[in-house]
Homo-oligomer: A and B are copies of this chain.
Amino acid sequence: MSLIVVGTMAYDAIETPFGKTDKIVGGSATYAAYAACNFIQPVNQVSIVGFDFAKEEMNQLESRGVRLEGVKIVPDKKSFFWSGKYHLDMNTRDTLITDLNVLADFNPILPESYQGSEFLMLGNLMPSIQIRVIEQLLQRPKLIVMDTMNFWIESALEDLKKLLKMVDVLMVNDSEARQLGGGFSLVKAARAILEMGPKYLIIKKGEHGALLFQGKEVFFAPALPLEEVFDPTGAGDTFAGGFIGHIAKTRDVSFENMKTAIIIGSAMASFCVEKFGPQRLKEITKQDIDARIRQFVDLVHFEIALQ
């Protein structure tokens, strides 16, 4: 059992209606790793950081079975930095600052020891970089999952389309799905996207849950109705980490097991938003996770008898 997670490890400064942080740890691969390591270890991390990335955060990750051999440390540059401000509805945000720093030169090299990993999670990055990771693998993983974003749909569509033919699962949010697939109907957009290559499509709708499409089948997982969404940053990456973590643990890539994986991803994401950054993900125990999953079961369970 082994999993490669590729993505950013970064610093964020976040402002929400509930408060404001100085620089705190963030990045797609950070969130994904903190989620996935609850289900599978090791997590073979691939990323790039600068001299400023806290050693103690690295230690934290390592103590949870996240291997950092594939994380390049650039001694004379700073880590990727993002700063954003959420609107009152928490669904929309303005980016205030994007300092690429080390990310400008990111050319991931897979360590030899990562070869043979069975599962691959490609966090949101320039599609050509995601492709380069896949091309370095001597053996194709059982399942390749990728995330992307509107920026790449607009600026790197050719590479993205090439990449879509190389992966099994695409994860995007609803507006990205509409942008990539065309039109307002998510069902139609999903059909168009599945024709571009991936066998499975997961559309993340934030507080409105997530949809899984495969062929003509569709599964819906709700988001847990929360009293307060404190900070949505990283929720999508945490979802991805929980999803691929469960798949890697069970080594079962059936549609049925993907449903379960989506519920687990949703449960992990529901923790993520409770505190700033990945803080809450560091606190939770297996008991917390199981209790949260039970809440999801209760949330959607109903009995119906058709006569």
If A218-B299, A299-B220 touch, whether A227 touches B306 (CB-CB below 8 Å) is no
Which A273-307 residues sit within 8 Å CB-CB of chain B?
A: 290, 293-294, 297-304, 306
Is residue A157 contacting chain B, with contact meaning CB distance below 8 A? Answer: no
- Copies of this protein in the complex: 2
CB distance from A289 to the nearest CB of B (A): 9
Contact A218 B225 (CB under 8 A): yes
Is residue A211 contacting chain B, with contact meaning CB distance below 8 A? Answer: yes
Q: Which residue of B lies closest to A228 (CB)?
A: B185
A residues bordering B, Cβ < 8 Å? 88-90, 184-188, 205, 208-209, 211, 217-222, 225-229, 256, 259-260, 262-264, 290, 293-294, 297-304, 306
Question: Given A187-B227, A209-B222, A218-B299, list of 4 further CB < 8 A pairs?
Answer: A185-B228, A218-B225, A256-B303, A293-B306
CB distance from A47 to the nearest CB of B (A): 31
Contact A186 B225 (CB under 8 A): yes
Contact B211 A220 (CB under 8 A): no
> Which chain B residues lie closer than 8 Å to A185 at the CB level?
226-229
7 sample A-B contacts, Cβ–Cβ < 8 Å, listed by A number: A185-B226, A208-B209, A211-B225, A221-B302, A256-B302, A262-B302, A263-B302
CA distance A289 to B307 in the complex (A): 11
Contact A260 B209 (CB under 8 A): no
> Which chain B residues lie closer than 8 Å to A300 at the CB level?
219-222, 300
If A218-B299, A299-B219, A300-B220 touch, whether A187 touches B226 (CB-CB below 8 Å) is yes
Contact B306 A290 (CB under 8 A): yes
CA distance A301 to B218 in the complex (A): 11
Contact A222 B220 (CB under 8 A): yes
CA distance A229 to B186 in the complex (A): 11
Q: Which residue of B lies closest to A208 (CB)?
A: B208
> Which chain B residues lie closer than 8 Å to A301 at the CB level?
259
